[in-house]
């Protein structure tokens, strides 16, 4: 029988994968695209549902934030298979992202990943702080 505790690290893995500097799209990284979307719409918090490619509020729909979500879903499926779980084990998967106050001219995002399985069990990451690297991009650059 599969043990749920073997999936505890998966939310942390998903954040590290998604915000990796390997995930560059045109002129910016994922943190850059999220930050410019938040800044341009004057909001501080966004939730990205990476299982269903939805964003709330819908301020970032025109940005490339969903370019790498298929990779996240493949990572989930791979982990579930290797641990003996059904590949549709999760019913929810999202990043909660909050823009932090500027610190020493650095723009920062706090990110938490949450996964919920069919039984209602919640897996949550630690809070990660992601740096914004490219501040001079526009959503029209996507």
Residue 38 belongs to what domain range? 4-134
Contact 136, 107 (CB under 8 A): no
Contact 99, 46 (CB under 8 A): no
What span, in angstroms and rounded, lies between the C-alpha atoms of 1 and 14? Answer: 24
Whether 80 maps to a domain, the answer reads yes
pLDDT profile of the chain (142 residues), mean per 10: 82 96 87 89 92 89 87 96 93 95 80 96 96 76 59
Whether 139 maps to a domain, the answer reads no
Whether 16 maps to a domain, the answer reads yes
Whether 64 maps to a domain, the answer reads yes
Whether 113 maps to a domain, the answer reads yes
- pLDDT given for residue 63 in this prediction: 76
What span, in angstroms and rounded, lies between the C-alpha atoms of 97 and 38? Answer: 10
User: Quick check: helix, strand or coil at residue 111?
Assistant: strand
Whether 50 maps to a domain, the answer reads yes
Structurally, the chain folds into a number of domains equal to 1
- pLDDT given for residue 134 in this prediction: 76
């Amino acid at each position: 029988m599969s043990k749920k505790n073997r999936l505890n690290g998966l939310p942390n893995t998903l954040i590290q994968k998604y915000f990796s500097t390997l995930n560059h799209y045109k002129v910016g990284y994922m943190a850059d695209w999220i930050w410019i979307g938040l800044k341009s719409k004057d909001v501080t918090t966004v939730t990205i549902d990476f299982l269903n490619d939805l964003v709330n509020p819908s301020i970032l729909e025109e940005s490339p934030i969903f370019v790498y979500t298929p990779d996240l879903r493949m990572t989930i499926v791979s982990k579930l298979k290797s641990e003996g779980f059904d590949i549709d084990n999760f019913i929810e998967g999202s990043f909660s992202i909050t823009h932090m106050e500027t610190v020493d001219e650095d723009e920062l995002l706090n990110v938490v990943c949450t996964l919920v399985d069919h039984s209602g069990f919640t897996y949550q990451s630690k809070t990660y702080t992601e740096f914004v690297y490219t501040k001079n991009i526009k959503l029209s650059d996507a």
